[in-house]
Amino acid sequence: MGLIVFSFGTAKIFHFHAGEFMPAFGSPEWVAGLIELTVGLCFLIGVFTRLSAFILSGLMAAAYFTAHLPVSFFPTENGGYTAASWSFVFLYFATSGGGPASLDAMLSKRANG
């Protein structure tokens, strides 16, 4: 999930395999891309996992409410099923953490001996 979010950030910010994801500099979509790039990378490598997941959960919820909900209430009709699902998955990681393979866990284990 972190890699996918990070790839959306690279598409929006660096126009790397951008396709339709080329927002104007400073637009809300560009700012979302900057968040996806930086926070997605943090989530991908497992550093500040809980905070990163919390921010990404909010970003996905905001994407759903601003881009999809105005089209229709139902995710099957408005195309927002991915944003809605990911919002809840990131919320899970915000509460559970990154697990033993995360950089957070490795640094914690090394600090505690």
- Mean pLDDT across 42-66: 96
pLDDT band at 111 (very low <50, low <70, confident <90, very high): confident
Average pLDDT over every residue of 59-83: 94
pLDDT at 19 over 80: no
In the predicted structure, residue 102 carries a pLDDT above the cut 90: no
User: What is d(CA 27, CA 31) in angstroms, rounded to the nearest whole number?
Assistant: 6
Q: In which element (H, E) is residue 27 found?
A: none
pLDDT of residue 51: 97
The structure's pTM equals 0.89
Structure confidence by residue, pLDDT tens digits, 91-101: 999 999 988 88
